[in-house]
Structure 1
Amino acid sequence: MNHIQKILVIAALLSSTVSFGQLTEDPEDRRDQGKDPLRTQTPEGRPLPFGQRLRFGGGINGFRFGNPFSLGASPVIAYQATERLLVGVGASYTYTRYKGITNTGSTVPVETYNQYGGRGFVMYEAIPSILPNLYLHGEVENTTIQVRYDQLNQKASLGLTSPLLGLTYMQPISRRFGVNLTALYNLNANSSVARAIYGSSPFILRLSFF
């Protein structure tokens, strides 16, 4: 191979490397230009792969110590469908234990709650030019709560599907992760089962991370 051929081969390799770098360039590089990172495409306008549009996270819910003791978790997977639209699914589980006081002054379990469910949601950034990172939020949540009455050795189970509408404000930390404060109104709040699961208020507040 003569020198000209070697130069042509090296030039071809370099150009291929540059092209590959452009295909996989991180949209976070836009920060160097004073712009927000793109959520679904590279700075050159190429669509990001499916995996780079996924967001993973969740939150901790029902966190209480004492009587009752309560602790839960709610993992979330979301997909950045467009620059302004997020769709996702989530699951939730909360354990709650109430204790009573006996005649001797000791505490014993009285009621135990296992609450679990799943939800599908849609978030749409309605007016980013005026209120960036504020999303219209709609979802459908299916929840089941199982109650065990320890003293009576009895069990009960309740289930409910609830449509929820409201707003989410997201504070971005990176292109695929943020802190989310959500306020939702339960359209099924008048149900007695809804009051047993969500409480007396029709409003649901959440803090999550994804």
Structure 2
Amino acid sequence: MTKYFLLIITLVISTLGFSQEEDPYVFGDKTTNNTATKPAKDGGFDWERVTVGGGLGMTFGSITYIEISPSIGYYFTDNILAGIGGNYTYYSEKAANFNTSIYGGRVFGEYIFSNIPILLHTELELINIESYDNTRINIVNPYIGGGLKQSFGGHSYFFILVLWNLNETKESFLLQPNPVIRGGIAIGL
């Protein structure tokens, strides 16, 4: 537990250290970082507000866990991001002689603070999972939480989230017990 606490503290300190030079959270002209110089769109879909990305997770040992979770999101305002994503997980437990494929989709929303590298995250996930008695079931997992992000230009950033599953069951426990820790990348188009 102390290792995880120290890791989170280190990430917070390094993220705040990188944010001293300029304000990467203001969208606009890349040379002046001034939103007034960016021409306004006449409504409609703006591809510059789209992000693609996701996460990748792996654990090997007595339990093997491999997760791929692509996502796509859209900034409706400078602070509000919403999107959809998919999830595929391979899970194997040697002691129980059990392995399965877990798959599903999710919708998510984020509120990203303007001048600090913090975000709030909410998510609704539907997954199909094989339980220990070899039957496949659907599980709905609502998550809430927050995290840190480190921007590296426009709408692109690395993130780490700490989420809480509001519907934790013995089957969803196969994925990750509370708290759920995720990390990933979002690339602005």
TM-score, structure 2 normalization: 0.72
Counterparts of 1:110 and 1:194, CA distance in 2: 18
User: Structure 1 residues 81 and 91 mapped into 2: Cα distance closer, same or farther (>3 Å)?
Assistant: same
Report how many residues are paired.
Answer: 159
Quick one: which of 125, 149, 157 aligns to 2:136?
157
AA at the equivalent of 1:138: T
Counterparts of 1:32 and 1:174, CA distance in 2: 12
Contact 2:81 2:110 (8 Å CA) reproduced: yes
Give the RMSD, CA atoms, in angstroms: 2.7
User: Structure 1 residues 30 and 176 mapped into 2: Cα distance closer, same or farther (>3 Å)?
Assistant: same
Cα distance, 1:72 vs. partner? 1.6
Whose helix proportion is higher, 1 or 2? Answer: 1
AA at the equivalent of 1:205: I
In the alignment, structure 1 residue 141 sits paired with structure 2 residue 125: yes
Counterparts of 1:82 and 1:114, CA distance in 2: 37
AA at the equivalent of 1:159: N
Cα distance, 1:96 vs. partner? 1.9
Structure 1, gaps ≥5 residues long: 1-26, 101-108
Structure 2 counterpart SS, 1:155: coil
Quick one: which of 37, 54, 60 aligns to 1:58?
54
Cα distance, 1:45 vs. partner? 4.0
**Which residue pairs with 1:30 in the alignment?**
29
Counterparts of 2:165 and 2:144, CA distance in 1: 7
Does 1 or 2 have the higher relative contact order (CA < 8 Å, sep 6+)? Answer: 2
**Which residue pairs with 2:84 in the alignment?**
89
**Which residue pairs with 1:104 in the alignment?**
none
Cα distance, 1:59 vs. partner? 1.1
**Which residue pairs with 1:76 in the alignment?**
71
Structure 1 counterpart SS, 2:172: helix
Q: Look at both structures and tell me which one has the larger radius of gyration over its CA atoms.
A: 1
Structure 2 counterpart SS, 1:188: coil
Cα distance, 1:78 vs. partner? 0.7
Contact 2:159 2:184 (8 Å CA) reproduced: yes
Counterparts of 2:157 and 2:69, CA distance in 1: 16
In the alignment, structure 1 residue 113 sits paired with structure 2 residue 100: yes
AA at the equivalent of 2:109: V
AA at the equivalent of 1:120: V
Structure 2, gaps ≥5 residues long: 1-25
